[in-house]
Structures are given as C-alpha cells and as structure tokens.
Structure 1
Amino acid sequence: MRTKSTHEWRAGAASADAPGASALTPGETPGAGPLESHESRVFLGVPVHRIVSLLWAAPFLLFLVYPMAEGFQSPPSTRVAAIIALSVALSGVYIVIWLVNDATPVSQRLTTTLVVWLALLLGLQVALTALIDHGGGWGGVYTLCYVASPVVFLLPRRTLFPGLGVLLAIAIVETLVWPQEGLVPLGVVTVTTIFSMTGRQASDRQRMREVEAQQALALSQERERTRISADLHDILGQSLTGISVKLDLTGRLLDAGRVEEARAQIDEVTDLTRTALADVRAVVAANRTLLPATEIDSARTLLGAAGVRLEVIRQGEPAPGTPSTLVAHVIREATTNALKHASPSLVLVTLRPNGVRVVNDGVGRGRLSDVLSPRRPASEFAASGSGLAGLADRVAGRGRLTWGPEGDSWVLDLVLDG
C-alpha cells in the first residue's frame, strides 16, 4: 500500500503557523549551509570526486596477484622479502596517486605533483619487474597496468598521447629485456590501456556536454541582459531626452520672467517622469514573468547535464498571467531541489490547466527524505523568503501547494483555485 505524507499550505498558513521561522532556500537545508557540488565536497580531507576515481581504479589492484604469488611460492630469502615489500609499496603509491590528482583534468597544465608520483610509480614498477624476472620468475610486466591506468586518466589531454607513447615504449622494452614473460603481459597491458581510454573518452564527452550546457546558459543570460538593456534604453532614452529639453526651456522661461509658461513645462516634466517610471516598472514586471515552457526547457538542459532524464506529460496549459507564472516557479523550484538535495534518475513533470505536479525518484538516494521529512514540524518551513516557503507565500490565496515523499518518490504539487 502506498502511503502519502505531505506538507500543506493554504492561504495565510505560512505566516500564521510560524512567523519567526527561517526560510528554506533552494541551496540550503534546515540547520545546514548551502549544499556543495559533487566536485567540492570532501571526505577526510580528500575531495569526493578523487575518492570516486580511486574506487573505479581499485580493481587494477588484482594485478598484485602475480608478483605476490611469485614471492610466496619461492623459498624465504631477501629477494622474496624485497618482492613483497615492493608490491606493497607499488600498491600504496597507486592508491595515493589517485587521491592527490584529479582524474580527466580540465587544466592542460602538467603538474609537478603528477610528474613526481608517476615517476615514483614507474620506478617501483621497473624495480619490481627486474627483481622478479632477473631471478627467473615471471609476471612483472603485468604490473605496468598500474602505470597505464593513471597515465590515461590523470594526464592532461595535450600530454596524453605522448604519455601513451612512452608507456608503449616501456612495455616493449620490458618484453624484450625479459623474453621469458612472452607476449601475453604486453597484450594485457595493451587491453588495459584501451579500456582505460574508452573510459577517458566517455568522461571527456560528458564534461564537454556539461561545458556546452553551461555555455548555452551563459549565452542565453547574456542575450537576456542585452534585451533588457535595449528595452531600458528605448524607454528611458526618449523620456530623459524630453525631460532634459523641457527643463532647459523651463530655465529660459524663468529667466525671461514667463513664470506661468515655466510652470506648464514643469507639469509636463512631471508627467514625463511618471510615464518613464511606469514604463520601467512594466519592464521589470515583464522580466519577472516566467513561462512554463521556458522553465521546462531550462530544466531539461540542467537535468540532462547531470545525467537525469526529464519526462513531461501535458494534460493542459495553465491560463496566462499569474497561474502560468506560479506553475513556472514550481517547475524551477522542483528542479533545483531535485539536483541539490537528491540523486534522481528521473524527473516527471505533469502540466495541468489548474497547476503542475513534479515527481522525482531520488528520495531514497538523496537527502530529500531527511531534509523535507513530514516528521519535521511545519514551523521549520514556514517563513517568507525563497525556496519552498517563499513559493508557498506566492501561492497563498491562489491555491494549494503540497510537498513531501510518496513511497519511493518525492512530490511537489500545485493545485490552483478555480
């Protein structure tokens, strides 16, 4: 059985329930500051995105099986102890290199940190391979996979292919120097590199899509600023020119002692200023107006950049004016909350003549179930401002706004009166 729990807001409820409560803004949670982006969050002093990269690269630690097996199958000796020690050191450096460098870096600058750690990693790999193969063993060349993965993912793109060339040369040299290894290790290193390159290219494409989305948004904002500037210039330019001319004429009339005519000019200047003020207010009001179609397009761009699917069901369109603007505000707020407080895979927008319903499936994977739990007192959400509380203030007297979890989903629903 599906249960439904929501916060409900009726006209005046926000101010009546808790006039002193603090507002919940789109980027905040009660008792917490603004939520940080994935790339800016840290865990134990390490950026989270680096930990994620390490988890992706961790399976390559399986290649330690070869040198460790070589060591444990041999009689105890200094050489065996050295093999085990170098294997442990190699795995340690391999882990650290992911934690101190960014994977698929945006910057094209080759950092000293990366060069030092790659050199250390390669040095340990060569030493371990020499120690294993010089004593008649085999499997050392396999450990070159430890170098291949960081080279592919950590090098800036402009140095990636030169780095791959050096890696290939080292693999060939090691295969020739220790022929007992055969060609299988070289093939394994090659396949590892190819799979890593596939992952790198996918990551680069995703980053490019995000950059293109950001550029499109910036271009749209710039066009909007240009349009607003043009509107203000057209409105104020003519009005201010007229005011300037009439004030100059007023001064001349006063100098000539023609007071009544000067007074008439002042009255006209007053009318011009009132008209200009009304025009400016109209421009501001027009730019405050949001449209559902525009907000849906914006949501599709933002959600798409985050890998979230957006589906829209149109059961009708809200009336122009205030109903349409309120629906657009709900779509914007629901999109913002889904991206900042949850980890949805799908956002479903149902557009109706009397409102809108926005559902996302991220309640079980994000923080919405905790942040906006119906178990919290309504007073924590009931203040004027932005976010859900501010949205409730906008809706007050015009309909009902509800939000909260429904089963495994989280719902923001607007039903307009009449």
Structure 2
Amino acid sequence: MSRWTSWWHELSAAAKFRLYTGATFQFALAVVIVVMAITVRSPWAATGVVLAGIAAVLAVEVRADFAVTSLLASRRWVQVVAVATLVGVWIACAVAAGLSGDATTDARMRLTGIYVVMLIVFSVVSLIEYKWWILLALSLVTGLAFGTSPATVLGGVLLTFVAGALVVATTLLTLWGIRMVDELEHAKVVEAELQVAEERLRFARDLHDVVGRGFSAIAVKSELATALSRSGASDRAAAEMDEVRSLAVESMGQMRELVRGYRGIDLTSEVAGARSLLAAVDCRLAVEGDPAAVPARFHEVAAWVVREGTTNIVEHSAATAATLALGAAGMSLRNNRPRGTPGQQSGLRGLAERLAAVGASLEVLSSPDRFGLEIRWEKS
C-alpha cells in the first residue's frame, strides 16, 4: 500500500487531475455500455453492444488525454482495430435491421445501431478534427440506414445529431478542463524559473556591491602601500597592509553572510567607510545632513547608495572632492573630475533596481567636470 501511496504523492497536480479525468471518463463510458446492454432486451443485441463497448474503451485508452495507463498509449493499431470493430458492429445492426421481417427485431437492431453510433461519437468522433462535420455525416447515414420512412429517417438524423452533439460538447468541456490544468501547471513551472532567475540576478547584484567596494579598497590601499614602501615609509606601508588584511577578512565575512542570506548593512558605518576609503585616494568627502534624517525604511538602500557611489568614485574618477547629502526627502552623492561614464558593470543598474523596489527613484547627473547621483525617496 505504501508503494501505491508514494506513487500517487509523487505525481504532479496536473498528472493527478489527468488520471482522475481519464478514469472518470472511462467509468462513465462503462456505465453507459451496461445501460445500453440492458435496454436492448436481446442477447445478440447485448453482445453487439458489449463488443462495441470494449472497442470504445480501447479507443479511449489509446488517447493520451484519457488514458488510465500507458500500456496502449499512442499504439495506432489498437485504435484501428477498435474503430473497425465499432463500424463492423454498426454495419451488422444495419444489415440485420434491413433483412429481418420481425418488427420487434427491427426495433432492437435500430436501437442497437444508434447506441453503437453514440459509442463511436463518444470514443472516436469527439476526439478528432472536423468532429462536427463527421457527426453530421454519421447522423445522415444512420438515419438513412435505420429509417423506414421519411419521418423516421428525419427523426433518426435529428436524434443522432442532438445526442452526439451533447456527447461532443461534454468531451470538449472535459478536454478544456485538462488543458487549463496543464496551462496552470506550466505557469507554475515558469513562475518558479522566473523566481530562480530573479534570485540569481539579486545575488549577482549583491555580490557585485559587496565585493566591488572591498576589492576597490584593497586595490587602492595596496597601491598606496607599494608607493610608501618604495619611498622608504615602511611603517606607514605596514599600516596600510594591515588595513588591506582587515579589509580582506571583512570582505570574506560579508561574502559568507551574503551566501547565507543574512547580510546586513548599516548607513552610519557605510558613511564612515566611504570617508576612509576616499581619504586613501586623496579625495575629501564632505557629509551634509545626518544619517538619522533618512526615513527608517530607506536606511538600508541609502547605505547601498553610499557603498556603490563610493566604489564608482574610486573606479571611475580622479576625484579630489565629493559631497554626500542626506535628508528626509532624498540624498545625493557628487564628485568632481569624472573619468568617462560608468558602464554596465558599474552597478548603477542594480542600484536603480534596489531603489525602485522601495519606491525611490535614481537620477544620474553627468558632465565633463561633475558626476552625481540624485535620489528621491518617494517617486513623484
């Protein structure tokens, strides 16, 4: 029992619904066959109904949409045999009704023939193309084959077409339900893939922001230590290398926190770190305003602005002065002496995504002698 329950639980929701629909469809077909066999009131006619019913079940089982098992799925020869059997039983009923001189036998054969036509519509016609035209042709042939007068021919045509139309409509609704469930399952898969892609982009952006500043600081301080060492200021060079080591350890810790997904960032610490990093490249940072003036829900993104903006100043300018302004309405970070414009790898696109996620906006101001980031906490 546990094997069967585990098999059921391993199926997707769409596969469960498809299996349930196929089983229900075939159960309904079996019930119809039993009722038909009882109502014809003749052993020979009942035998024909049962034979046609078995063929109808096989024809349905071949269809992937209604198959309960995969044993007969897509085996065309089974469908050919099933259709040939259904047509053969129908022809036998038409011949028997035409040759029999007994009115009771004729009526039973006509009823059996109409039943077989319904089984053909149920298991074959409703599942193929041009179903409505085929149903109309089948209704005309059935009326002509079993009718004994113009009135009975017309009645047989109308009865067959109306009953067949109900069967086709029911089958189409069932197929529509299966398609809808399949589309929902596909949408879930696509949504999951999009979430994975979005998370990868977020991780790449965070990795760039975290590692970018650390590596920039390490590169700058390493160059400074090299220059100091060559000039004979070994003590200052050693101090700079100690800071390089501290930055490397700090970057490693941030990397671990990033991987674990628990990384935090503090605005006040980022402002202090920006001042220290820019001072190492002979750039004076003037801070206007107080980090406490920034609305609490924007503190984290403001810290990312300071981090990314500072990294851009180091990598994309020869700045000697920069100004950081913090306020309740927004913030800005400007520097002089830009060197070209930051490209796609500067992280500004990721920064814009961060700001948009919290309802803020980013404007980049660029000129030959100035570069700045203007942020507004609420989009106008």
- TM-score with structure 2 length normalisation? 0.50
Larger radius of gyration: 2
More relative contact order, 1 or 2 (CA 8 Å, 6+ apart):
1
- TM-score with structure 1 length normalisation? 0.46
Richer in helix (by share): 2
